[in-house]
């Protein structure tokens, strides 16, 4: 991954370019009293990150972008497919008891429900808790009875940006999203191919920070 945190020398290079743009690598090296070969890795990082723009036979320009804007652009470029995890799925006929056991064994906050292989609903920990407190016979009632049904399920597709997934999680105040593949648009049949959670988003930010 491209380095985001600039070194002291890279910061100096940016300042030099700001003051004298367009400016050649030879001129930059002369100001820093270094060789062009020494500066080559720094200039490569600055151009790859979009902070500097290099034009043949002209020199380097400052684009106006910052390391923060670079992080923002990188996040916008990450697709759901890049970070989605394996979905936890049970059928509508699964008993509430078995669904609860599955949820805790898999350590997830929600389970996706399917009918004939297509997503038909979702159940959260809150849904299970409400029914357990209400005295429902967990062994006899199928999970399909208490689930939130389509089309009231918020979902994302693999080609969507992870930023749009994060926005949906916040706007709808939910813990996870099913990642679906459209099978039949007219019948609104979708196959579950993954999931994105708040933990997914948090882990992504941590990885970006560690690798910066």
Closest CA to 115 of 147, 159, 154, 152: 147
User: What is residue 3's predicted lDDT score, i.e. its pLDDT?
Assistant: 41
119-169 pLDDT, tens per residue?
999 999 999 988 888 778 899 999 999 999 988 999 999 999 988 898 888
Q: What is the mean pLDDT of the chain?
A: 87
Residue, of 77 and 212, whose pLDDT is higher: 77
User: What is residue 47's predicted lDDT score, i.e. its pLDDT?
Assistant: 82
**Distance (Å, rounded) from C-alpha 79 to C-alpha 165?**
9
Tokens representing residue 108 in the block? 């997830």
**Please, what sign has the CA dihedral across residues 112, 116, 118, 121?**
negative
User: What is residue 2's predicted lDDT score, i.e. its pLDDT?
Assistant: 40
**Distance (Å, rounded) from C-alpha 48 to C-alpha 97?**
53
**Distance (Å, rounded) from C-alpha 172 to C-alpha 154?**
8
pTM for the full predicted model: 0.66
Q: Give all domains of the chain, ordered by start, each with its CATH number.
A: 8-72 (1.10.10.10), 80-207 (3.10.580.10)
**Distance (Å, rounded) from C-alpha 170 to C-alpha 191?**
24
36-67 pLDDT, tens per residue?
888 888 888 788 677 888 888 889 999 877 65
**Of the candidate ranges 97-101, 114-118, 197-201, the one whose mean pLDDT is the lowest:** 197-201
Q: Which residues pair with 47 in a beta bridge?
A: none
């Amino acid at each position: 991954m491209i380095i985001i945190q600039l070194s002291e020398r890279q910061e100096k290079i940016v300042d030099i370019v700001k003051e004298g743009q367009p400016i050649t690598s030879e001129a930059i090296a002369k100001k820093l009293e270094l060789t062009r070969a020494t500066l080559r890795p720094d200039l490569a990082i600055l151009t790859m990150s979009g902070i500097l723009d290099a034009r043949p036979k002209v020199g380097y320009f400052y684009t106006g972008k910052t390391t923060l804007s670079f992080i923002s652009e990188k996040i916008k470029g990450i697709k759901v497919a890049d970070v989605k995890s394996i979905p936890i799925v049970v059928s509508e006929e699964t008993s509430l008891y078995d669904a609860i056991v599955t949820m805790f064994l898999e350590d997830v906050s929600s389970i996706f429900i399917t009918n004939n292989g297509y997503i038909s609903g979702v159940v959260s920990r809150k849904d299970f808790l409400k029914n357990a407190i209400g005295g429902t016979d967990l062994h006899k009632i199928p999970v399909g009875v208490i689930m939130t049904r389509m089309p009231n399920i918020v979902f994302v597709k693999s080609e969507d940006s992870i930023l749009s997934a994060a926005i949906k999680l916040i706007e709808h105040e939910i813990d996870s999203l099913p990642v679906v593949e459209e099978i039949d648009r007219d019948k609104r049949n979708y196959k579950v191919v993954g999931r994105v959670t708040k933990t997914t988003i948090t882990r992504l930010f941590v990885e970006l920070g560690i690798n910066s």
